[in-house]
């Protein structure tokens, strides 16, 4: 059994030439895709969570630590995306450098990032829509069957979550350019409101809220190694890392970029740079307006609106605008996550590791429409019938794992094929990949044990699928074609 069989770069480049996907994306639209995926639940929800649970006002340092890990990984992604402009992201890169088995592991881990992430964000979208409507949506129609209200009402199905998933799936089927245009409009709305919060909130900052800057071990509930001081900053980085998920989704659209060798590095690193600056400023203002301890008991998911309503008199309209921005932000995150997952499945199906239907292209729209439909039902099953709390930090751990292996892949390919033409070169190899592995690995370790165990169980399921189906159906399996051609019975 050969688990390290690799896909040659020549084969990948030929696939790029033969691709039926339509090339419509520019560097600007790729940056917008990245910002669209990045600014969402992470900024509006995870900032307060990381502050309350681990980092306090030093959550701005958590953002910087998370950004460093993303920066190191982003430089590695940029080299791969410019050199191998093909759908599939980290999965495809691993197939070339580390072999089929590792590629499958990454592809399976990316389901945690994209599919489960889309489900989690769609559930949050439903909650905020209900808040916008003043709680008028019946409890049974916006909660899963496993949830019960304080008054004893039982949930049945989360219809708003299914609604937004269905609408965005139709947009994705219609075309990548249409998806990018809608995403650009949403990005403009939410970035404008984020900037408004930063600019208007600055005057309401109370310097006393920054003291002490690092959470002391004497604070109740912060006695653990990763719950105070610099340990708290690291744990906070693992929590807010969810806020950076999305820049790697840009690489999944490489096969649809007009000039990938130039535009992919700009899209990946440009979106990461824009969002990092906004995140640090946003976290600084939020923890300056409201004391971080309040987020543990009063703010929670509506933390930004809470801070505005209680500490920014005269700006009640901004709380409503933030809620609208959150809905818009969630929508674009779901859109890009569904796009990213369908493109990963597209690549895996082209390699024979998944059924062919995931690679079928619509004759008119030139998009993997069947994959989008299957994803709607798969993601919708989680969004409509499973509580969002079950997802936990699984999305982050799956992404961190993929980032780590991409860093390894760049280093390995530099050693195995040093003369290969690279339109963009990661600087300081192997230092940058090693630093990326260390920072991302540290954030994985800082996450809670339950998340690590569930992620491990998910990978075991993936191994069963690989050895039960993918290994024998792989196009790199010499007997695969013969097996399909041989009549049964």
pLDDT one-digit tens code per residue, 337-387: 888 888 888 888 988 999 998 888 888 878 888 989 999 999 999 888 877
Nearest Cα neighbor of 94 from 411, 340, 464 is 411
- Distance, CA of 411 to chain centre: 24
Please tell me the distance from the alpha carbon of residue 470 to that of residue 484, in angstroms, as a whole number. Answer: 13
Enumerate the β-bridge partners of residue 148: 154
| CATH number of the 22-477 domain | 1.20.1740.10
Domain map (residue ranges) of the chain: 22-477
pLDDT (0 to 100) of residue 280:
93
CA angle 387, 382, 119 (to 5 degrees): 90
* Mean predicted confidence (pLDDT) in 92-106: 85
Q: How far apart are CA 43 and CA 328, in angstroms?
A: 13
pLDDT digits (tens, 9 = 90+) for 170-202: 988 887 666 667 777 877 888 888 899 999 999
Report pLDDT digits (tens) over 233-248.
888 887 787 777 776 7
pLDDT at res. 53: 82
d(CA 478, CA 11): 16
| pTM for this prediction | 0.74
For the chain, give the percent of residues with pLDDT over 90: 19
pLDDT band for 225, please (50, 70, 90 cuts).
low
Q: What is the Cα–Cα distance from 119 to 457, expressed in whole angstroms?
A: 19
Give the tens place of pLDDT for each residue, 409-463.
889 889 888 888 888 899 999 999 999 999 888 888 877 787 788 888 988 999 9
pLDDT-derived band at 485, boundaries 50, 70, 90:
very low
Q: Indicate whether 486 pLDDT > 50.
A: no
Give me the pLDDT at residue 488, please. 34
Token duo for residue 272 = 């990461």
Cα three-residue angle 82-35-341, rounded to 5 degrees: 65
CA-based torsion, 263, 267, 268, 274: positive or negative: positive
Q: What is the pLDDT confidence band of residue 146, given thresholds at 50, 70 and 90?
A: confident
**405: pLDDT confidence band, cut at 50, 70 and 90?**
confident
Check: CB of residue 179 under 8 Å from CB of residue 369.
no
Among 87, 43, 58, smallest CA distance to 351 is for 87
- Mean pLDDT for 136-154 is 86
Q: Is the pLDDT of residue 153 over 70?
A: yes
Euclidean distance between CA atoms 466 and 436, whole angstroms: 28
pLDDT digits (tens, 9 = 90+) for 162-171: 999 999 999 8
Task: Please provide residue 133's backbone torsions phi and psi, each rounded to the nearest 5 degrees.
Answer: -90, 10
Residue 26, pLDDT score = 81
Residues 6+ positions from 202 with CB-CB distance below 8 Å: 285
Provide DSSP, 408-445: HHHHHHHHH-TTS--SS--SSTTHHHHHHHHHHHHHHH
Mean pLDDT over residues 13-18, rounded? Answer: 72
Q: What angle do CA 325, 331, 332 make, to 5 degrees?
A: 95
**Residue 400 has what pLDDT?**
83
Tens-digit pLDDT profile for residues 18-73 = 766 667 778 888 888 778 777 776 677 778 888 888 888 899 999 998 888 888 88
> Mean of the pLDDT values across residues 68-91?
81
pLDDT averaged over every residue in the chain:
82
φ/ψ (deg, to 5) at 154? -105, 140
What confidence category does residue 17 fall into, taking pLDDT thresholds of 50, 70 and 90? confident
Place of tokens 């159906």: 473
Confidence of residue 217 (pLDDT cuts 50, 70, 90): confident
Predicted confidence (pLDDT) per residue in 378-397, tens digit: 999 988 887 765 555 677 78
Residues in the chain: 489
């Amino acid at each position: 059994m050969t688990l390290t069989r690799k896909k040659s770069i020549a084969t990948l480049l030929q696939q790029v030439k033969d691709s039926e996907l339509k090339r419509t994306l520019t560097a600007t639209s790729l940056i917008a895709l990245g910002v669209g995926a990045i600014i969402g639940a992470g900024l509006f929800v995870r900032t307060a969570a990381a502050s309350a649970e681990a980092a306090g006002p030093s959550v701005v340092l958590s953002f910087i630590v998370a950004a460093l890990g993303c920066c190191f990984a982003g430089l590695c992604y940029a080299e791969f995306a410019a050199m191998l402009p093909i759908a599939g992201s980290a999965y495809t890169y691993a197939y070339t450098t580390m072999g089929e088995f590792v590629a499958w592991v990454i592809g399976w881990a990316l389901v945690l990032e994209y599919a489960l992430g889309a489900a989690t964000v769609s559930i949050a979208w439903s909650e905020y829509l209900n808040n916008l409507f003043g709680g008028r949506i019946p409890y049974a129609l916006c909660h899963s069957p496993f949830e019960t209200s304080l008054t004893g009402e039982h949930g049945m199905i989360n219809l708003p979550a299914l609604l937004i998933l269905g609408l965005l799936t139709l947009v994705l089927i219609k075309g990548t350019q249409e998806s990018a245009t809608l995403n650009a409009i949403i990005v403009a709305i939410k970035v404008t409101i984020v900037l408004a919060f930063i600019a208007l909130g600055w005057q309401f900052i109370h310097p006393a809220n920054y003291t002490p800057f690092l959470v002391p071990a004497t604070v109740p509930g912060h006695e653990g190694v990763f719950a105070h001081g610099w340990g708290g900053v690291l744990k906070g980085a693992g929590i807010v890392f969810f806020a950076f998920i999305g820049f790697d989704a840009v690489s999944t659209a490489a096969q649809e970029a007009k000039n990938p060798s130039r535009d992919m590095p700009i899209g990946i690193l440009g979106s990461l740079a824009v969002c990092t600056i906004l995140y640090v400023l946003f976290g600084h203002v939020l923890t300056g307006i409201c004391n971080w301890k309040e987020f543990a008991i009063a703010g929670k998911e509506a933390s930004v609106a809470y801070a505005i309503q209680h500490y920014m008199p005269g700006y009640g309209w901004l709380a409503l605008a933030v809620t609208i921005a959150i809905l818009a932000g969630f929508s674009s995150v779901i859109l890009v996550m569904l796009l990213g997952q369908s493109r990963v499945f597209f690549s895996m199906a082209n390699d024979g590791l998944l059924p062919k239907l995931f690679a079928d292209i619509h004759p008119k729209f030139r998009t993997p429409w069947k994959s989008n439909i299957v994803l709607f039902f798969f993601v919708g099953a989680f969004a409509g019938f499973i509580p969002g709390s079950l997802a936990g930090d699984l999305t982050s751990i799956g992404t961190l794992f993929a980032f780590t292996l991409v860093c390894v892949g760049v280093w390995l390919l530099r050693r195995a094929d040093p003369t290969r033409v690279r339109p963009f070169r990661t600087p300081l190899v192997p230092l940058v990949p090693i630093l990326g592995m260390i920072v991302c690995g540290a954030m994985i370790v800082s996450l809670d044990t339950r998340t690590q165990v569930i992620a491990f169980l998910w990978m075991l399921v993936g191994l069963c699928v690989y050895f039960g189906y993918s290994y024998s159906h792989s196009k790199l399996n010499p007997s695969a074609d013969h097996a399909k051609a041989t009549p049964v019975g």
